[in-house]
């Protein structure tokens, strides 16, 4: 085993070591997701990303458009299946780690490049958070790309890298407005860095700003002309807190980030334990590029709590996850001595062992969820969709054209072979509205879980008003290895085409 790991570590600088690591990562964690969720369907966030991506646009009611663009391109290459989106999640994580390695190459080589990625694999970010491909996880690769481009632009100050930094930063904002704090981190780092005068007297920052605004212009035009603002949605959902609750949210945000980083930092300290004194003494003077990255990390982490206090809004640590790699990268790249190869081998073997154990135990998660269903109802999505589509075929020979509702109805659009269009039934204030006459005439359906009171009231209102509407309920029961899980009663409404 030791000789195989040594051969792999030698292959890092030969060009095949990192691609092999990322390929194994994708295969094993995709297998984990397929086994762990074999009796459950995709997370509603993933289905929402697919729904948004069915039509290419410059925005949506709840989120900027990037996650929809990615799922649209993905489904041009892969089928609309659960395994396909599990693969997308892990490919996205692997791409993120590859870009991190692209940055690490600017400072270190060989074993240290591998150590950075192995330590990052101890974070829950790139496996468990990544499996929900949504507006947060789409940034896992975009933030490292934007940071890499900004680093190159700050150091080289060339037009090419300045344009790349501006476009990558704008792309991050098109993923989630929270990425504005990454831009704040760039500005903070540039101002605080000793080379700030050289940078700001060059054309680079202004070229980046123009390039970024050019990419964001169609999105801004969409918001101004559509009457819909995802920013308004974000403030409505996360705003309105008291000063005390906003302060508490900010403190928990910082504590959660520290807790997330604790394991890789502790493991790294153990790896260099015999020379940790030398390591601490060598931190000053830190490399200019690493200092810039550290300033970006500090700025991007400290700006959100300050904004939260000013706006009296809540924060979630998951939002900052795409930038946590900076702390691990700076910690490892600051080492001025060679890390013991034996320590690196043990780290690699430990990561591989933990991953294999996770894959082997994945069916236990499926068994547990068979008796303890997900709160969002994902144990029932495909089963309910199959039942509704069977009833639809008995009602009409035409394809189902449109569905509306909440998570369950969105899942019907995904799991139905007709893939009907999903129309959001509520406005940004979550006031549920009647479907359009056009949608009802073309053929329409919805589903509600029994605890979704608002959805059930809305369903009854439509049933009373829509000609030919058929309301019915049924029970679906998930199974795992032949053992029945917790059943659920679903209420559905069909409006056949007229």
99/114 Cα distance (integer angstroms): 13
| Cα angle value 317/322/328 (rounded, 5°) | 95
Residue ranges per domain, the chain? 2-363, 381-495
**Secondary structure class of 264 (helix, strand, coil):** helix
Residue 262 corresponds to which tokens in the numbers above? 């604790």
List, in order, residues 6 or more apart from 13 with CB less than 8 Å away: 109, 110
89/36 Cα distance (integer angstroms): 15
Can you say how many angstroms the Cα of residue 78 is from the centroid of all Cα atoms in its chain?
19
220/1 Cα distance (integer angstroms): 55
**Secondary structure class of 470 (helix, strand, coil):** strand
Asked if 390 and 476 touch (Cβ cutoff 8 Å), the reply is no
pLDDT, residue 346, reads 95
311/224 Cα distance (integer angstroms): 22
455/170 Cα distance (integer angstroms): 37
Question: Of 382, 400, 383, which Cα lies nearest the Cα of 494?
Answer: 400
pLDDT, residue 446, reads 95
Which position has the token pair 């890298």?
Answer: 161
145/165 Cα distance (integer angstroms): 8
Which of 7-20 are b and which e, b meaning 16 or more Cβ less than 10 Å from the residue's Cβ?
ebbebbeeeebbee
Residue 351's alpha-carbon distances to 62, 109, 285, 307, in angstroms, are 37, 20, 32, 37
434/221 Cα distance (integer angstroms): 28
292/194 Cα distance (integer angstroms): 9
353/370 Cα distance (integer angstroms): 27
Residue 400 corresponds to which tokens in the numbers above? 């189902």
Q: What tens-digit pLDDT sequence spans the chain (498 residues)?
A: 778 988 999 999 999 999 999 999 999 999 999 999 999 999 999 999 999 999 888 876 678 899 999 999 999 999 999 999 999 999 999 999 999 999 999 999 999 999 999 999 999 999 999 999 999 999 999 999 999 999 999 999 999 999 999 999 999 999 999 999 999 999 999 999 999 999 999 999 999 999 999 999 999 888 888 766 666 556 666 666 778 888 888 899 999 999 999 999 999 999 998 888 887 777 767 789 999 999 999 999 999 999 888 888 888 889 999 999 999 999 999 998 889 999 999 999 999 999 999 999 999 999 999 999 998 899 999 999 999 999 999 999 999 999 999 899 999 999 999 999 998 887 665 678 889 899 899 999 999 988 888 999 999 999 998 888 999 999 999 999 989 999 999 999 999 998
Q: Could you tell me the pTM of the whole model?
A: 0.93
69/55 Cα distance (integer angstroms): 9
pLDDT, residue 480, reads 92
pLDDT, residue 123, reads 95
Question: Of 375, 369, 442, which Cα lies nearest the Cα of 408?
Answer: 375
455/475 Cα distance (integer angstroms): 18
């Amino acid at each position: 085993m030791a000789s195989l790991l040594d051969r792999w570590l030698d292959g890092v600088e030969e060009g095949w070591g990192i691609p092999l690591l990322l390929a194994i990562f994708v295969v094993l964690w995709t297998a984990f997701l397929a086994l762990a969720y074999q009796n459950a369907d995709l997370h509603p966030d993933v289905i929402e990303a697919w729904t948004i991506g069915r039509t290419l646009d410059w925005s949506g009611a709840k989120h900027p458009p990037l996650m929809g663009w990615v799922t649209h391109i993905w489904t041009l290459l892969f089928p609309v299946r659960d395994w396909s989106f599990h693969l997308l999640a892990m490919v996205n994580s692997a791409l993120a780690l590859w870009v991190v390695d692209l940055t690490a190459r600017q400072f270190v080589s060989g074993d240290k490049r591998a150590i950075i990625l192995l330590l990052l694999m101890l974070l829950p970010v790139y496996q468990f958070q990544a499996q929900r491909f949504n507006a947060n996880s789409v940034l896992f690769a975009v933030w490292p790309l934007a940071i890499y481009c900004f680093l190159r632009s700050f150091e080289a100050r060339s037009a090419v890298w300045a344009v790349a930094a501006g476009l990558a930063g704008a792309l991050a904002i098109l993923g989630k407005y929270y990425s504005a704090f990454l831009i704040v981190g760039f500005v903070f780092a540039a101002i605080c860095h000793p080379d700030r005068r050289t940078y700001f007297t060059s054309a680079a920052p202004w070229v980046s700003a123009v390039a970024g605004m050019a990419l964001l212009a169609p999105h801004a035009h969409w918001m101004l002309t559509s009457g819909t603002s995802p920013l308004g949605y974000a403030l409505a959902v996360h705003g309105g807190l008291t000063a005390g609750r906003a302060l508490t949210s900010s403190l928990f945000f910082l504590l959660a980030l520290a807790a997330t980083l604790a394991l890789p930092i502790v493991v790294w300290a153990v790896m260099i334990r015999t020379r940790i004194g030398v390591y601490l003494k060598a931190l000053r003077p830190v490399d200019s590029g690493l200092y810039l990255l550290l300033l970006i990390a500090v700025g991007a982490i400290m700006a959100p709590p300050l904004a939260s206090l000013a706006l009296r809004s809540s924060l979630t640590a998951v939002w900052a996850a795409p930038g946590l790699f900076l702390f691990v990268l700076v910690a490892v790249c600051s080492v001025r001595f060679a890390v013991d190869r034996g320590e690196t081998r043990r780290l690699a073997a430990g990561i591989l062992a933990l991953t294999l154990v996770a894959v082997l135990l994945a069916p236990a998660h499926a068994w547990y969820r068979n008796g303890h269903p997900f709160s969002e109802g994902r144990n029932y999505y495909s089963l309910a969709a199959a039942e509704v589509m069977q009833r639809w075929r008995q009602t009409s020979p035409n394809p189902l054209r449109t569905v509306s509702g909440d998570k369950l109805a969105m899942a019907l659009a995904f799991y139905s072979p007709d893939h009907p269009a999903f129309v959001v039934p509520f406005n940004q204030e979550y006031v549920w509205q009647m479907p359009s006459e056009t949608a009802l005439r073309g053929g329409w359906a919805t589903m509600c879980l029994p605890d979704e009171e608002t959805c059930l009231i809305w369903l009854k209102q439509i049933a009373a008003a829509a000609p030919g509407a058929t309301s019915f309920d049924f029970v679906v029961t998930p199974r795992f290895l032949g053992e029945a899980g917790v059943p659920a009663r679903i209420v559905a409404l069909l409006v056949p085409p007229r």
